[in-house]
Amino acid sequence: MLSSPVKALIPSKWLHRLRWIKKWPHPEKEAVILFTSGTEAMPKGVPLTHKNLLSNMQAALCSVDIRRNDTLLSALPPFHSFGFSVTGLLPLLAGVRVVFAPNPTDAGQQLRILHKWEATILCSAPSFLLNVMKQGSIDLLQSLRLIVSGAEKAPKELIEQINSKTPQAKFLEGYGITECAPILTINNTGDPQEGVGSPLENTKIKIVHPEDFSITLPCGQAGMILAQGPNIFEGYLQTNVSSPFYHDDVRWYVTGDIGYLNEKGSLTITGRLKRFVKIGGEMISLGAIESALTEEPSIGQGEGPQLAICAKGEAEGRPHIIAFTTKELPLLSINTILRKKGFSNLVRIDRVISLEEIPLTGTGKIAYRELEMKYS
């Protein structure tokens, strides 16, 4: 059998004719098993096929302007679906040079590598990107052409930092899920940024009523996000996990996320269904409470997340809302901020718990499940 270095020197059309070269794997054959982040529940195994991965990467390349002379800085671990696909497979398939940083939490190291190799593309989760932007200077970041954010919503502070320190770079935000290999939507390189962008060319998005998936909602109205396409997996590795699919004329993957489409087809995410609580007959987003509070300079400033909002059980007939924070925040002060932000009197924090730091998962997301388990 030919060794890999020898194969690399032979044109691919010749390799196909060599009878001792193994046949290509079947498109429906499993290529990798990744695991969900475990942010809100136990991690689930997600088998992805060659077809899932390659169809997703091919569609992504049609939306993002990646050039042969680009250099991508990759710091996300390969067990992360974003790291495996976007900073792993995508540059390999596009023939783009990649430089690696071993630790996504080490912003200083990433900046040194970025500056040394003059990286033009930086892809990462918002928490990690924000640390890089805060520590970086205009000189260190001047080589960047594209900055791509995914895995969670990009905070306002990150966008402000990018606009201030990398005015030459285009910021792209996307939306993806491990089960979808992972990209569902992204802002096209040449278009103005709107939400998390439009669905990839081979992907369909539908917004339905959160409690009745047979009701499709109109543009501008938020509901459950369903997705359909060749990039979506066939089912979890664990057999005791309930099906994540809804069937009408076709099979739809139920993302668990809430959002809406605008008239141009761009998607905006408003939160996770599991991150909503019912108060006074209305569905209230814990993420919206979190965002409103972190917009306050006295709360949001600092390295890494400074606040996390969780809900447990009930207090006075309503969910018991807890604020975990690294700051000294009196209960009265935090609820006064919510009043000023326009939340009704029904929406209030019941308890404030001070921590040295907000725990994160290995993918940079707030570990809500860990908070709920440790401090219930």
Dump pLDDT digits (tens) for 130-174: 999 999 999 999 999 999 998 788 888 888 999 999 999 999 999
User: Is 121's pLDDT higher than 70?
Assistant: yes
Q: And the tokens for 143?
A: 């080589």
Say whether 375 sits in a helix, a strand or coil: coil
Mean pLDDT of the chain: 84
CA distance linking residue 148 with residue 173, whole number of Å:
6
CA distance linking residue 11 with residue 297, whole number of Å:
57
199 within 8 A of 230, measured Cβ to Cβ: no
User: Is 245's pLDDT higher than 60?
Assistant: yes
For CATH 3.40.50.12780, the residue range(s) in the chain are 4-190
Question: What are residue 99's DSSP bridge partners?
Answer: 73
Residue 252's CB is within 10 A of a number of other CB atoms, namely 22
Angle at 61 between CA 147 and CA 168, to 5 degrees: 25
Dump pLDDT digits (tens) for 208-226: 988 888 999 999 988 899 9
Q: And the tokens for 290?
A: 């979190």
For CATH 3.30.300.30, the residue range(s) in the chain are 280-374
Dump pLDDT digits (tens) for 21-76: 556 678 888 889 998 876 556 778 999 999 999 999 999 998 888 998 999 999 98
Class of the CATH-defined domain 280-374: alpha beta
pLDDT band at 108 (very low <50, low <70, confident <90, very high): very high
User: How high is the pLDDT of residue 294?
Assistant: 84
User: How high is the pLDDT of residue 5?
Assistant: 59
Q: Is 3.30.450.20 the CATH number for 4-190?
A: no
pLDDT band at 110 (very low <50, low <70, confident <90, very high): very high
Angle 126-135/107-117 helices, nearest 10 degrees? Answer: 70
Dump pLDDT digits (tens) for 191-202: 667 788 999 999
User: How high is the pLDDT of residue 270?
Assistant: 81
